[in-house]
Amino acid sequence: MPRKKKEKPTLRKDGRYVCRYKGQFFYSKDPDDCIRQREEYKEREKQGRVASYFVKEYAEKWLDRAFPNVAPSTKHGLKTHLQKLTDAIGDLPVSEIKPSYIKDIYTTKYKNMSDSYIKAAKQLYCSLFDAAVADGLILSNPARDKTAKPHKGTEGGHRAITPKEREWIHTYCTDHRAFPAVMAMLYAGIRPQEAKAMKIDRDIDFKKETVTVRETAHIDRENGQHYEYTQKGKTKNANRTIPLLPPLKTALEGREGDLITSAHGERVTRTTWRVVWNSYITQMETAINGVSWRWYGRTREHKKILAEGGKLPPWKSFTVVPYDLRHSFCTMCRDNGVELNTCRQWMGHADVKMILKIYDEVTGNRDNTEAERLKAAFKTGA
C-alpha cells in the first residue's frame, strides 16, 4: 500500500506558509507550525469546540503574525490595546462578537483618554477583525460598523492621570531611574526635554523650595541619537522658576546629578530615554498586577484558578506617557485655585491660550468646588 503523501503548506509571497481546512486558514513562518495549528483545530473540532478561535487566542496569534518586526516599545503599546479588548471579550468566540461589544470597550476602557489614543485603538481593532474576515471566521467586521464608532477623546495627545494612577506612582517603583523625572513632570509641570537637561544639585533649591528650568535638551544635528543642551527653550518663557512642592521635595532629597540617567549613569540619548521609560512602564505594570505580562495566565496560581473554572483578575494597564504628567500638574494647579496667568508662568507658555485650549481640564473636584462656592455666595446674599 503506497504511503500517504505528506502535505506541504503553500509558501506565500510575504514569506509565510499557509494551509487550509474547512475554510479556516493557518499561517506561520514555519511550515510545520502551520500543520500543527491545523491539527489543533481538528482536535478542538472533535471536542465540540469548533467555535474555535476565541478572541484572546486569535488576537495573540494575529499580533505576532501582523507585527513580526516592530520595536519592543511598539509591541508593548499594541499589547496594551489588545489587553483592553481581551479583558472584556477575550473568552468569547470571534464569530459571536457584535458591534455593541466593541462600543462598550471604548466606553469603559477608554474613558477620558486622548483622541489620538482612541483612534490608535480603533485602527488596531479594525485590523484585527479584518484579518478574521479574511481568515473566514466572520463575514463582516464588527469594529467597522457605524454603531461601534468610538467617542471623541480629549484634545491633544495627553490627559490628566487618574487618582489611582497617582497613587500607583507614589507606591510602586520609587527606586527606578525614571522616578525622579516622573515626579518632576508631575509636580513641577516640566517638559520631558527639560527633564532630560535638569540637574538636581544645580536646579533644585531645597532651602528656598524652588525648581529652576535653565536648559532644554535639543536633538543634536550632527548625531541624531544625542542631545545638545541650551538655554533656548520651546517658548520665550521656557526658562522659569516653579515652587518645589512637598511630594517632589521628598522624592528628590538625598539625590544629586542628572534628574534622569541611562543604566550607566550617563545623560540619556534618544534611545536610552525610550528604554528607561519603557522599563518604567513595564515594571509599574508588573508591580501593580503582581506578575509580568509575560507570565500573566501562566503562573501556578493563575493556572490553578483557570483549572478550577475561575477567572483571572483583570490586567491593569499603566498607560501614562510623559506629557500626561505635565498635563496633570496644570490641572492640579487650576483645581486648587492657581490664577491662570500664574499657571501660564509655571508651565512656561507664552500666553494662556494653550492652557485654556488643552491643559485646563475641568475635573469633578473643581466642578464641585465652584458649585459649592456659588451656592455659598447666594446663601450669603440671601
What is the per-residue pLDDT for 16?
76
Q: Tell me whether residue 312 is in a domain.
A: yes
Cα 245–chain centre separation: 27
Residues 40 and 90 in one domain: no
State whether the Cα torsion 166-280-349-352 is positive or negative: negative
State whether the Cα torsion 257-261-267-273 is positive or negative: negative
Residues 255 and 194 in one domain: yes
- Sheet with 210-213, strands from edge to edge, namely 204-205, 210-213, 240-243
Beta strand segments in 1-57, E: 10-11, 17-21, 24-28
- What is the radius of gyration, based on Cα positions, of the chain? 26
Give the strand pairing for 227-230 and 216-219: antiparallel
pLDDT higher for 104 or 18?
104
DSSP symbols for 166-189: HHHHHHS-TTSTTHHHHHHHHHH-
| pLDDT tops 60 at residue 1 | no
The conformation of residue 235, written as its DSSP 8-state character, comes to: S
Q: How confident is the model at residue 153 (pLDDT cuts 50, 70, 90)?
A: confident
| pLDDT tops 50 at residue 32 | yes
What is the per-residue pLDDT for 382?
45
Least confident of 84-88, 160-164, 363-367: 363-367
State whether the Cα torsion 270-276-282-284 is positive or negative: negative
What is the per-residue pLDDT for 361?
56
The conformation of residue 258, written as its DSSP 8-state character, comes to: B
Residues 59 and 203 in one domain: no
Q: How confident is the model at residue 372 (pLDDT cuts 50, 70, 90)?
A: low
Residues 76 and 100 in one domain: yes
Q: Which of 153, 172, 188 is the last residue of a domain?
A: 153
How far is residue 293's CA from residue 325's CA, in Å, rounded to a whole number?
A: 24
pLDDT higher for 199 or 1?
199
Q: Which of 153, 188, 204 is the last residue of a domain?
A: 153
| pLDDT tops 70 at residue 3 | no
Residues 117 and 85 in one domain: yes
**Structural domain count of the chain:** 3
What is the per-residue pLDDT for 225?
79
Q: pTM here?
A: 0.60
pLDDT digits (tens, 9 = 90+) for 314-356: 999 998 999 999 999 988 888 888 888 899 999 998 887 777 7
Residues 122 and 198 in one domain: no
Q: Are 125 and 169 in contact (CB under 8 A)?
A: no
The CATH number linked to 100 is 1.10.150.130
Q: How confident is the model at residue 71 (pLDDT cuts 50, 70, 90)?
A: low
Closest CA relative to residue 198, chosen from 267, 249, 274, 275: 267
Reduce the DSSP state of residue 57 to 3 states and report it. helix
Residues 209 and 284 in one domain: yes
Give φ, ψ of 114 to 5 degrees.
-70, 155
How far is residue 313's CA from residue 324's CA, in Å, rounded to a whole number?
A: 26
Q: Tell me whether residue 289 is in a domain.
A: yes
Residues 46 and 60 in one domain: no
pLDDT digits (tens, 9 = 90+) for 72-117: 657 777 888 999 999 899 888 888 899 999 999 999 988 877 788 8
Q: How confident is the model at residue 206 (pLDDT cuts 50, 70, 90)?
A: very high
Q: Contacts by 159-162 with C-beta closer than 8 Å and gap 24+?
A: 159/112, 159/113, 159/114, 159/324, 159/327, 159/361, 160/112, 160/324, 160/327, 160/328, 160/331, 160/332, 160/361, 160/363, 161/186, 161/320, 161/324, 161/325, 161/328, 162/112
What is the per-residue pLDDT for 360?
60
Q: Tell me whether residue 299 is in a domain.
A: no
Residues 322 and 219 in one domain: yes
Closest CA relative to residue 152, chosen from 99, 113, 101: 113
What is the per-residue pLDDT for 334?
85
Cα 235–chain centre separation: 28
| pLDDT tops 70 at residue 366 | no
The CATH number linked to 208 is 1.10.443.10
pLDDT higher for 216 or 8?
216
Q: Tell me whether residue 256 is in a domain.
A: yes
Average pLDDT of 279-285? 94
Average pLDDT of 259-285? 92
What is the per-residue pLDDT for 107?
92
pLDDT digits (tens, 9 = 90+) for 47-62: 655 545 789 889 998 9
Mean pLDDT of the chain: 85
Q: Are 233 and 243 in contact (CB under 8 A)?
A: no
Closest CA relative to residue 270, chosen from 218, 215, 235, 222: 218
Give percent of the chain above pLDDT 90.
46
Closest CA relative to residue 157, chosen from 325, 347, 366: 325
Q: Tell me whether residue 173 is in a domain.
A: yes
Residues 112 and 128 in one domain: yes
Q: Which of 133, 153, 173 is the last residue of a domain?
A: 153
What is the per-residue pLDDT for 202?
96
State whether the Cα torsion 115-116-119-120 is positive or negative: negative
For 200, the domain range is 161-293+304-382
* 213-248 burial: b if 16+ Cβ within 10 Å, else e: bbbbbbeeeeeeeebebeeebeeebbbbebbbbeeb
Residues 190 and 262 in one domain: yes
Q: Tell me whether residue 43 is in a domain.
A: yes
Q: Tell me whether residue 5 is in a domain.
A: no
Q: Which residues contact 117 (CB under 8 A, 6 or more apart)?
A: 110, 153, 157, 319
Q: Tell me whether residue 214 is in a domain.
A: yes
What is the per-residue pLDDT for 46?
72
Residues 148 and 215 in one domain: no
| pLDDT tops 90 at residue 20 | no
